[in-house]
Amino acid sequence: MKLGLILKEIRKKQGLTCVWVSEQSNISRQALNRIEKGEDNMNLNTFFRLCNTLKISPIDLLIIKEKELESPENIKISDEIKKILPVKGEKNKWI
C-alpha cells in the first residue's frame, strides 16, 4: 500500500474531508486526491505538511509502511493506524 493510501485511511478515520486537509496543508485538492489514490508521489515537504495537518508522526507512518513491506500478510493497516491516531485535543508530539 502506498503512503498516500495510508494517509487517506488516516484522514477518513479522523472524519476529515479532503477539502479541509488540502486547505490546511496548502496542497491543491487535486494533488491530494492523486496522492491518496496512489497515482502521484509526494515530496518530503508535502509529506511533512500532511502529517502535521493529520497530527501524526512522520516516523510512525513510515514504521507502518516498513512493517507492511517486511511482512504484508501479517500486518493489518487499520490496526496499526489506530495506534498512531492523536487523542482529541492533543498537540503534535513530534513537533
Q: According to the model, what pLDDT value does residue 94 have?
A: 47
Rounded to 5 degrees, φ, ψ at 85 are -65, 140
* 64 burial type by CB count under 10 A (0-12 exposed, 13-18 middle, 19+ buried): buried
C-alpha cell recorded at residue 73: 500478510
Contacts of 6 (CB under 8 A, 6+ apart): 61, 64, 65, 77, 81
pLDDT, tens digit, for every residue of 33-69?
999 999 999 999 999 999 999 999 999 888 888 877 7
Q: According to the model, what pLDDT value does residue 90 have?
A: 56
Task: Tell me 20's DSSP state.
Answer: H
CB of 47 within 8 A of CB of 85? no
pLDDT at 4 over 80: yes
C-alpha cell recorded at residue 95: 513537533
79 residue type, one letter: D
Q: According to the model, what pLDDT value does residue 45 have?
A: 95
pLDDT at 1 over 50: yes
Residue 42 burial (CB count, 10 A)? 19
pLDDT, tens digit, for every residue of 8-25?
999 998 999 999 999 999
pLDDT at 31 over 90: yes
